[in-house]
Amino acid sequence: MLSAACQCQCSEGPAQVVEHVAVPNEGLPHLPQLLEVEVPEERQRLWVERGGLELDPVLASGALLLLDAGSLIQLASSGGILQPRQTLPPAAFASHSTVRAATHQVPETIGQSQKGAFPLFTAVLRIVCVSHCWLQPRHPDPLGYNLRVLGRALALLLRADAFGPGVWSVFFDLCGLHQACRDREGIPQQRTFAWLEDDSGFADGAVGRFISEEMLFKEALTSLGILYSHPHTIVFMLTQFPPDYDDPGVYDRSGNVESYMNRGWCFMELSLARMVKHSHFSLDLGRATGAEEVFLATTDGNRVRDSCLAGTCAVSQLAPAIPEAFEASLERKIFTAGKVDRLRVAGIYSDTFKSRICKISLLHYVSSGWGDSEAGQLADLIASGMPKLWGLGVIDSRIGDDGFAKLSEALVAPGGPQALEGLVVNHNAVGDRGAARLAEAAAEPGALRSLRGLALIGNRVGDEGAARLAAAAATPGALPALEALNLAGNGIGDRGARALADALASPEALPSLRRLVLSGNARVGGAGRDALQVAWAAASRPTEGEFPSVRNQEMLQAGLFV
């Protein structure tokens, strides 16, 4: 159990990284003996399939401990206050084996909300990572305000039918990392000790952390990137301040008083959560209305419950910033420890970025409210080197010609994806100029040789853009693997249709094409349709097998072709 009593202030957390241990000592680190359980073979298999092996080293070493979510809920409901790790009993934590044994298969579909279909929740590790502002210099939440917000969200999560019954574990820095809470005798206190910048030790002559704890603390910090960025963990962001936060009689605000987005560690955690995780796994609890009744929407017959936390609090997706851009953004963020923390945070992000991005095979962004600026960030990401990327989808945003041109250039950049099979930029604002730049890219020797599906549904492509795409298609060797081209819902007329027909008449043009869609182009009349039908028949192209490959079936299931 987590104790409900805390009469004093606690640590600065990760924002205060001590580079020099004040007092040499022989103390052993806080490594409680936790209850271990048997991990069934099926659960271990799922743990491995969902990337749990990435977390094994830091969980096994004890450098980072996870709290039992049930204990946190009970503490919040009883009006308690969080405490530093070294003061907590073993019952507060979930053991490594307990976390692995909690992994299980969940339903492939979990209903819909008024915001649209939820992703396929077939893969989840039952781990929640909490990102939050420290409300006071030596305690993140001295009056339990954020704990109560967190407890309510966890209670909804534990009741979610889609995930089924079982243990959930939580990472909260104050409780999961070794804190500087040891007095001069090495005894952990419920208060922690500030580092004295003009001296070589902690206030009151305290030990702070044992040397062994300091080593594990630094190990845990380097693992935060893995934990927050993991595609199958859930991140809760506590972004709002208490209503009475400006009252100096209630809160001591002598430390970092910036908003969540302006704090360096919080900005890093948010950026990590957005790196590869779906938006419904990154939740800003500051958006909660208090009226949410469930964590996820569930379907009961024909009835859909819309009052769900995941729908209300989902964080919009952004393409992850390349390390250089992230480091530039850090210059505008505030850190309690200044330069030391800025360098450390930049390093954590850079290391995580390099390990995650090289493994990404599918990027899929839907209704993210993007424009050309965000498309440019995505282009920088793609050009940075993504050797395994085979599917890219940006759907229902505001990307125009400038943004799409940057994306097109990135796809054929020297470091760009060499095995891209699906490109979908549906329901955006791409016009003739954007289509022309894609055509130029496709016509470059050896470019987009693996592309099997291209969809620009619901954009602003007209006759000129269609003609440029047709000219690229007629270029010998261009788009040799393309099986499906969908230009439905644009502004193409007879001139564009005839240009496509002329290209298709050549047996060398698009030799693998199985399906061409121009429906919803109201300006295509009889002349254009007749020309296309004649060209299609003359080339003896098959009409069946729209997406015959397994990979394209995966793209269909991921919603890339909609």
Share of the chain above pLDDT 90, in %: 56
SS (H, E, C) 445-464: CCCCCCCCEEECCCCCCCHH
Q: How many CB atoms neighbour CB 299 within 10 A?
A: 12
Q: Is the pLDDT of residue 435 over 80?
A: yes
Backbone angles phi, psi at 116, to 5 degrees: 115, 180
pLDDT digits (tens, 9 = 90+) for 116-143: 334 444 568 999 999 999 998 788 999 9
- Looking at residues 215-240, what average pLDDT do you find? 95
Q: Which helix (H) or strand (E) holds 272?
A: helix 264-276
Q: Which of 104-113, 223-232, 248-257 has the highest mean pLDDT?
A: 223-232
pLDDT digits (tens, 9 = 90+) for 453-498: 999 999 999 999 999 999 999 998 899 999 999 999 999 999 999 9
Q: How many CB atoms neighbour CB 536 within 10 A?
A: 17
Provide the token pair at 355: 């390990």
Q: Is the pLDDT of residue 423 over 90?
A: yes
- Looking at residues 242-268, what average pLDDT do you find? 90
With cut-offs at 50, 70 and 90, classify the pLDDT of residue 333: very high
pLDDT digits (tens, 9 = 90+) for 504-524: 888 788 888 888 888 889 889
* Strand blocks (E) in 397-488: 422-424, 453-455, 484-486
pLDDT of residue 90: 95
pTM recorded for the entire structure: 0.84
pLDDT digits (tens, 9 = 90+) for 5-42: 332 333 344 444 444 444 445 678 999 999 999 999 99
**Judging by beta carbons within 10 Å of its beta carbon (0-12, 13-18, 19+), is residue 507 exposed, middle or buried?**
exposed
Q: How many CB atoms neighbour CB 389 within 10 A?
A: 24
- How far is it, in rounded angstroms, from Cα 326 to Cα 343? 12
pLDDT of residue 542: 57
- How far is it, in rounded angstroms, from Cα 330 to Cα 261? 11
pLDDT digits (tens, 9 = 90+) for 293-331: 888 875 443 334 457 898 899 888 888 999 999 999 999
Helix (H/G/I), strand (E/B), else coil: 129: strand
- How far is it, in rounded angstroms, from Cα 85 to Cα 64? 10
- Our CA dihedral for 4, 8, 12, 16, rounded to 10 degrees, sits at -130
Helix (H/G/I), strand (E/B), else coil: 382: helix
With cut-offs at 50, 70 and 90, classify the pLDDT of residue 417: confident
Backbone angles phi, psi at 234, to 5 degrees: -105, 135
With cut-offs at 50, 70 and 90, classify the pLDDT of residue 338: confident
What single-letter DSSP state applies at residue 202? B
With cut-offs at 50, 70 and 90, classify the pLDDT of residue 191: confident
Q: Which residue has the tokens 């080293």?
A: 57
pLDDT digits (tens, 9 = 90+) for 521-540: 988 988 988 888 888 877 76
Q: Note whether 312 and 288 are within 8 A (CB).
A: yes
pLDDT of residue 367: 75
